[in-house]
Chain A
């Protein structure tokens, strides 16, 4: 009996170092939320800084300019996440129609090539965007040669259509990658079902509409739930590399705003406060969406 317990504990000790790593890098940062309640000034230790309670939280809504700024940031976040959510069916359609291609080589080629951008970092995407769309880049030289414009267009310094162009880059980067999951799901559709439909004289569009798409919906809903839960988490890398003085107003999403507040203007405490609110809202969203998914579809992703 005791020997069994010793062995059971020994197994635990064997994974303990890794559990400690997780505690340090994923759970200990939650303690960093403390900073939101102090007036933290970097060289000083936290203990030497005055405790200010909810000052930073109330400061977020204290002045009209501040409110205006935050409303704009929220607008950007909602717009970019909203466009992504609204077009979340695109990878599914991509996979469905790619599957209609009968040439195996062509299909494999398209699949390989369209997943490639996913493996390129945002810095490199920006570098590519720069090469193609700066004043002497591919797009401008083409347009000038065609005689459509006389002066180069500064595509990357536009303050208009920022939400849309950022969505385009995001789609360029990960459309093919997300489609892989649907392609995997399509390959597991029952063959007999397809055969039966064909024998009954169903056209390909009918097969797509009545068999393929319904069998992909479970995958779609799982990804949708994850997307909704991440509504406020756009990440900052994409927007950080693409931001400049001209588009800053429309490109600052919450994650980037938090970074700019802390690293740009030294407002550590206030940006921790925003981070904290954002994380709490995200967890609540996740729980709600997961609950809804459980209630409606009887499936939980957690």
Chain B
């Protein structure tokens, strides 16, 4: 990915260059710390004694490690339902978007299509304008997509950004592949499934990660479209908990099986502990998946950057 800039012949490093490097190391260490520590802070607080955590005593390492916060978090009403909605919209939404991007990215390279450029521009143009959230909401209401799970999925299927990424990638596939398949009598769909999909997998992975992250993180569409609590995803439930958490600790607590009094203070759920635990539950999937997929989206961005 990155060309090595080291000179072949040894050139003496000047004192100025040395200082520069040291300053860079210091600044980037601070930047990395600032990005990582908040996550670490929350994680150590969820596994530490809750009475210490509520006082703000847990700063650098966990004290009195226990995992009650996690076992009781799932007893909170509605959390499982929210997890289900989050997982459903992430998997379904991603599957649809990945398919649509790959399919359209391929179809829009078919020069024989009637008014191909018009349709392609019609889609790409939507990146640059926006009717506004309230007109969008009113129209969604007209189409009965408020309080409807499909309101999460349908608007996200065609994504101009992902379409540009895939189309650019498909254009880099040699035309001869398709021509050879067509000589053998393959139709356009056969070419897509048998010839194109196997070679565009890297860009499909990129689109999948972008789409999965945006579905998992989506918040605004729930805020606008959904009033039915059964359709709330984890993000939205977390937001509600952040705002009305006082009753929450008792909620988690009342469902907990009787624990011995001595241990009670350390493992009793507090508003702080409940909030942080849910935050970790919501962040964790991203933290786990992210390093694995990083190389894909860096590639994807580079393709987009070269094109853009």
Give A residues with C-beta under 8 Å from B. 4-5, 7-9, 11-12, 14-15, 18-19, 21-22, 24-33, 35, 94, 97-102, 106, 109-110, 112-117, 119-124, 126-128, 130-132, 136-138, 140-142, 172, 175-176, 180-181, 183-189, 191, 194-195, 198, 203-205, 219, 222, 229, 233, 236-237, 240-241, 255, 258-259, 262-263, 268, 271-272, 275-276, 278-279, 282-283, 286, 301-302
A258 to chain B, nearest CB (A): 6
B residues near A127, Cβ cutoff 8 Å: 238, 242, 275-276, 279
- A11-B113, A187-B3 given; 14 more Cβ-contact pairs under 8 Å: A14-B188, A21-B155, A27-B126, A122-B219, A124-B282, A126-B239, A127-B276, A128-B38, A175-B31, A180-B301, A203-B16, A229-B128, A236-B220, A258-B133
B136 at the interface (CB under 8 A from A): yes
Docked-complex contact A204 and B308, CB < 8 angstroms: no
Whether A100 and B24, one on each chain, are in contact in the complex, defined by CB atoms closer than 8 angstroms, is: yes
Q: Which of A19, A117, A233 contacts B122 (CB 8 A)?
A: A19
Tell me the B residues contacting A by CB distance below 8 Å.
1-3, 5-7, 11, 14, 16-17, 20-21, 24-25, 27-28, 31-32, 34-36, 38-39, 41-42, 45, 54-57, 59, 100, 103-104, 107-108, 110, 112-116, 119, 122-123, 126, 128-139, 143, 154-155, 157-158, 188-189, 213, 216-220, 223-224, 235-236, 238-239, 242, 272, 275-276, 279, 282-283, 286-287, 290-291, 294, 298, 301-302, 305-306, 308
A7, B112: Cβ atoms closer than 8 Å: yes
Asked whether, in the complex, the Cβ of B113 is within 8 Å of the Cβ of A8, the reply is: yes
Contact of A184 among B28, B103, B238, B301 (CB under 8 A): B301
* Interface majority SS (helix, strand, loop, mixed), chain B: helix
B238 A101 Cβ-Cβ under 8 A = no
Q: How far is the CA of A31 from the CA of B220 in the complex (A)?
A: 21
Is B38 in contact with A131, judged by CB distance below 8 angstroms? yes
Nearest-Cβ distance from residue B103 to partner chain A, whole angstroms:
8
Selected from A110, A138, A183, the residue in CB contact (under 8 A) with B41 is A138
In-complex Cβ contact of B133 among A124, A219, A259 (8 A):
A259
A65 CA to B193 CA in the complex, in Å? Answer: 61
Query: Is B2 in contact with A187, judged by CB distance below 8 angstroms?
Result: yes
From A25, A122, A131, A258, contact of B132 by CB (8 A): A258
Give the chain B neighbours of A14 by CB distance below 8 A.
107, 188-189
Known A-B contacts A97-B24, A123-B235; the reply to A130 vs B275 at CB < 8 A is yes
In the assembled complex, 8 residue pairs joining A and B whose CB atoms fall closer than 8 Å, in A order, are: A11-B112, A100-B21, A110-B28, A117-B35, A122-B219, A132-B41, A187-B1, A189-B3
B219, A121: Cβ atoms under 8 Å? yes
A149 to chain B, nearest CB (A): 13
Q: Are B135 and A272 in contact (CB under 8 A)?
A: yes
Q: A12-B119, A241-B239, A258-B132 are in contact. Are A97 and B27 (CB under 8 A)?
A: yes
| CB atoms of B158 and A262 under 8 A apart | no
* B206 CB, min distance to chain A CBs, angstroms: 13
Q: Is the CB of B41 within 8 A of A131?
A: yes
- CB of B19, distance to nearest CB on chain A (Å): 10
Closest to B299 in A: A184
Question: Would B135 and A32 count as touching, CB distance under 8 A?
Answer: yes
Chain B residues positioned under 8 Å from A112 (CB to CB): 291, 294
B24: chain A residues at CB < 8 Å are: 97-98, 100-101
Of the candidates A106, A119, A272, the one whose C-beta lies within 8 Å of that of B213 is: A119
Give the distance to chain A from B298, nearest Cβ to Cβ, in Å: 6
Q: A26 to B119, alpha carbons, bound, how many Å?
A: 14
> CA A124 – CA B35 in complex, angstroms?
13
* Nearest 6 Cβ contacts at the A-B interface: A32-B135, A275-B132, A141-B56, A121-B217, A29-B131, A11-B113
Q: When the two chains form their complex, are residues B21 and A101 in contact, meaning their CB atoms are under 8 A apart?
A: yes
